[in-house]
Structure 1
Amino acid sequence: MVEVLHRYVTVRGQRVFYREAGAHEAPTLVLLHGFPSSSRMFRNLIPELADRFHVIAPDHLGFGNSDAPSVDAFTYTFDALTDITEALLAQLGIARYALYVQDYGAPVGWRLALRTPDAITAVITQSGNAYEDGFVPEFWKPVRAYWENPGPQTEPGVRSALSLDAIRWQYLHGVDRPELVDPDTWAADHRDVNRPGNDLVQLALFRDYAGNPPLYPQVQAYFRERQVPLLAVWGDGDEIFGPDGARAFTRDLPDAEIHLVPGGGHFLLESHLDTVAGHVRAFLTTTGSPA
């Protein structure tokens, strides 16, 4: 039985929660979660990988068990979330690692890669977008409207993403066997993002997400220059970041390994854990494991 440790550490004055498993001397894999979840989304994947890898999965500030300071006490941007993650890894003595990104984890991961490209040994992306191709227009229409004109006319379109129905949709849409998805997942996420004041945290990050697509050319240049080993494993039914976003990686990384999992959605690990774990283990073992 693999032991998964649940730890807290103070980073830049904020209490950050992270899950950790595996031997410290093993190659490190850093897992970065997306909206509206937390490192909880990796709870079943971590034991599948920890026999061969040292796995670290933090909660971003404002999510899960990490601190959620008010918007008056902390400026919520993806740069700031990256600052916290970078400082956490430094405190833990992690200098080289493979990176697993999903949803919000991607803009944090891409910033880490741009800041310290020599630290990244491989990338696994599960609906972690880096191309305009990945945006599903219907889903992103209200978000883009909020980017362009944040205010009372556009806020309801993004605030609705905090509702129980919207979060449930993220977990179930496109999934061929929804009965495999634990209802506790969306219930826990809904509870966490609706803590007092956390709605303003999420609105701040929705606004700041507008700064991520303009970063994509730098990220793509990093891919071309570094030719980092990359595995994209996405649900083919994801209608937040669609399959075209996975295929697009091959434009800059011709050797990228792309797997579109039939019957999978945005939170692919909930319904297709064994498939994803198998791809990740094979990828890291053959091409992407840190030296």
Structure 2
Amino acid sequence: MRTRTANLNGQPFFLREWGDETLPPLLMLHGFPEYGSAWSDLAPHLSDHFHCIAPDQRGYGQSWAPEGTENYVLSQLVSDMAALIEQVGAPVTVLGHDWGASVAYGLAMFRPELVSRLIIANGVHPYPFQREMAKGGAQSQASQYINQLRAPNSADWLAADNFAKLEQFFRHGMGTDWLTPDQIQAYRTKWARPGRLDAMLNWYRASPLQVADPGKPLADPPQLPTERLRVACPHLLIWGPEDKALLPETTEGLEDFAPNLTRVTIPGADHWLHHQHPEKVAQAILDWADKT
């Protein structure tokens, strides 16, 4: 693994890279509350086949972290990664997890010329996700934490007692415990950088998606532009079925938006499948890539 800082749209972004630069590029987009090092378990299994590029996205790790919720709308997050792809050389394969999946979908939907193939690992397309969160059912219940994270004082709450609440969320809130003491200390170090935790939470605050109260469906859910939410390129969805935050129904009907979709399930995995079963995730990616 090697590191460098790239200038994207005039701002500094920290990158981690694995594999020879002559190999096909694979852009790897992390979610909350991780940073580019989230891919350190998976990337070595792919680096003989891809030039793996894992940025700390806006607001995370050692990358640019502007103040203000308005700086974290999806169009700006997509613009960051579009600038990186243009530097690397388009089109590329894009892999996204959790919030990184939102940016990956955004690239595939709104900048399709930049994306040759799309891989999502336990992440959701906005339409079926909003559909399920609006019902007031199981996904609404599972997504109640989103409202907690959007609260104005959530950064202080999560950071108290050496990030005890954030560690609890990370370890148990979305799946099983997989973190080592060294790993959690590395995360604490990144979370403690000035302004970072509030910037990370701004991803939640800037999202237009709404969560219904349990048992109370939204009367007027957000109307998403369905015709603009199509994924034309080959799309692989890798799923850990034990995920506590994203339930299987959030992927129902995905074929309506991604007709060239392949699904792979990793039994026994949850939201953190790329840490728990990196060899199986890598094999799923390589087998699919050989066919596409």
TM-score for both structures, normalised by structure 2: 0.79
- Do the aligned residues in 2 keep the contact of 1:127 with 1:246 (CA within 8 Å)? no
Q: Which amino acid aligns with 1:242?
A: L
Distance 1:203 1:56 in 2: 24
| Structure 2 segments unaligned to the other structure (5+ residues) | 134-138, 211-221
Task: Name which of 19, 28, 32 aligns with 1:35.
Answer: 32
Distance 2:121 2:84 in 1: 22
Task: Name which of 138, 142, 146 aligns with 1:143.
Answer: 146
Does 1:86 pair with 2:82? yes
Aligned structure 1 segments of 4 or more residues deviating by more than 6 angstroms? none
TM-score for both structures, normalised by structure 1: 0.79
- Do the aligned residues in 2 keep the contact of 1:167 with 1:189 (CA within 8 Å)? no
Q: Which amino acid aligns with 1:90?
A: E
| Structure 1 segments unaligned to the other structure (5+ residues) | 148-153
Distance 1:79 1:29 in 2: 21
Distance 2:174 2:199 in 1: 28
Give the C-alpha shift of residue 51 in structure 1: 0.6
Q: Which amino acid aligns with 2:187?
A: D
Alignment-derived partner of residue 243 in structure 2: 238
- Do the aligned residues in 2 keep the contact of 1:171 with 1:267 (CA within 8 Å)? no
- Do the aligned residues in 2 keep the contact of 1:164 with 1:190 (CA within 8 Å)? no
What SS does the aligned partner of 2:271 have? Answer: coil
Distance 1:103 1:219 in 2: 21
Task: Name which of 245, 249, 255 aligns with 2:254.
Answer: 249
Task: Name which of 271, 274, 283 aligns with 1:266.
Answer: 271
Alignment-derived partner of residue 217 in structure 1: 226
- Do the aligned residues in 1 keep the contact of 2:24 with 2:92 (CA within 8 Å)? yes
Give the count of matched residue pairs.
270
- Do the aligned residues in 1 keep the contact of 2:32 with 2:200 (CA within 8 Å)? no
Distance 1:25 1:282 in 2: 21
| Residues 1-291 of structure 1: pairs in structure 2 closer than 5 A | 4-71=1-68, 75-92=71-88, 94-130=89-125, 131-132=128-129, 136-144=139-147, 154-155=151-152, 160=157, 163-172=163-172, 175=175, 178=177, 180-210=178-208, 215=224, 217-218=226-227, 220=229, 222-223=230-231, 226=232, 228-253=233-258, 256-287=261-292
Distance 2:36 2:93 in 1: 16
Give the C-alpha shift of residue 137 in structure 1: 1.8
Give the C-alpha shift of residue 242 in structure 1: 1.7
Q: Taking every aligned residue pair, what percent have the same amino acid on both sides? A: 26
Distance 2:249 2:6 in 1: 38
Q: 1:146 to 1:275 in 2, by over 3 A?
A: closer
Distance 1:183 1:199 in 2: 20
- Do the aligned residues in 1 keep the contact of 2:149 with 2:201 (CA within 8 Å)? no
Alignment-derived partner of residue 219 in structure 2: none
